[in-house]
Amino acid sequence: MKIKIEQSNSSRLSVLDVEKLVFGKVFSDHMFVCDYEEGSWINPVIKPYQPISLDPSVKSFHYGQSVFEGLKAYRDEEDKLWLFRPNKNIERLNRSLERLSMPEIPEDIFYQAIEKLVKIDEKWVTKGNGKSLYIRPFVFASEPSLSAAPSLKYKFMVIMSPVQNYFNSGKHSVKVKISEIYSRAANGGVGFTKASGNYAAQFYPTNLANKEGYDQVIWTNSDYTLIEESGVMNIFVRIGDKLITSKLSDRILDGITRNSILTLAESLSMETEVRDIQVKELVDAAKSGDLKEAFGTGTAAVVSPISLISYGGIDYNLPEIKGDSYSTILKNKILEIQHSSTKDQFGWKYPLS
Ligand SMILES: *Cc1c(COP(=O)(O)O)cnc(C)c1O
């Protein structure tokens, strides 16, 4: 596959203030676009970042056939560029696409699109701990038609946005509320995919929680007895010295950060358990003081410590996050690997030439 390149004749990089970045508001100079028609992916092109024009009847607007991914490119001290476990993103993208009755993206197109796009906008990958270029691949139905059947046309696009992570984990901890009314995902549904509609469905209950002073909702299963995810992140809890995360199901997103944190915790001889977490177990542990920590994991924020959990109208404060908290240790460890200041013993880094 040969990607056509239409180079932008000016860069917006000069107006970028990396220290004042708001997540996902600024985009790099170029984007990747590819069309799916008559059973194949065609017309791959990298062109200046710009609006696209779509017929009002395209199926993604009406029936939500739309999925996405998220990963980051990093620049190390020697100015080499890296991705983190991109093989996991293409595998997951194809699992999402299959469930939404959308055509798979061949691995070769995925890698070429990202490698060439990062290369052409490589100045947007800034150096320094916590700094990276967030890459957003997405696929959506582009056939103009209101017939309620899978689209015959799609677009695969990649856009990129520079991001800055915050370090002082204590200062950026979140307050969460365990859901006793709403659900994010259903048995047999699409909770395990990165379907756009999963996010739309979360906004309303999250807004209600925000109005009560909480940052995020801890999602539970359909009878509100099991802990599933925290906002748009996977969840870990530390009860005593055991680090526990919910086991995967069709309601839970198979997070790459979750998987990496589990591997890192085991390599550091922390005791880990992957199993169902009962709401009652968590609340009892919060009451008794056995709940030492809770945190969310995801590509954007990496590790996001929780400072307070609310359930049944009662707020439970968690112990203060310290240097020897599991969340701090694990966050530093994964960031060191991503930013190349420590050996990549698991072979997670993917070099960009
Ligand atoms: C993307 C996502 C995550 C985190 O996955 P990562 O691969 O770690 O970024 C967790 N939960 C949900 C619902 C998500 O959409």
pTM of full prediction above 0.85: yes
Q: Residue 166 has what pLDDT?
A: 62
pLDDT digits (tens, 9 = 90+) for 65-94: 999 999 999 999 999 999 999 999 999 999
Asked whether the beta carbons of 235 and 228 are under 8 A apart, the reply is yes
Determine which residue's CA is closest to atom 5 belonging to ligand 1: 255
Token digits of residue 266: 């085991």
Does residue 190 have its Cβ closer than 6 Å to ligand 1?
A: no
Q: Is the CB of 302 under 6 A from ligand 1?
A: no
Q: Is the CB of 262 under 6 A from ligand 1?
A: no
Q: Which atom of ligand 1 is nearest to the CA of 300?
A: 9
**DSSP string over 218-236:** EEE-TTS-EEEEETTEEEE
First to last CA, the chain: 18
CA distance 322 to 272: 20
CB of 194 within 6 A of ligand 1: the answer is yes
> Could you give the CA distance from residue 125 to residue 121 in angstroms, rounded to a whole number?
8
Mean pLDDT of the chain: 95
Two tokens, residue 145: 């038609």
| DSSP designation for 257 | H
Q: What is the pLDDT of residues 126-176, one digit of tens each?
A: 998 889 999 999 999 999 999 999 999 999 999 999 998 765 444 578 999
Q: Which residues pair with 306 in a beta bridge?
A: 174
Instruction: Give the residue, out of 196, 233, 257, 334, with the most ligand 1 atoms within 8 A of its beta carbon, to mutate for a pocket test.
Output: 233
Contact 89, 54 (CB under 8 A): no
> What residue owns the CA closest to ligand 1's atom 11?
233
What would the mean pLDDT of 315-327 be, rounded to a whole number? Answer: 94
Question: What is the rounded CA–CA span in Å between residue 272 and residue 280?
Answer: 20
Q: Which atom of ligand 1 is nearest to the CA of 260?
A: 8
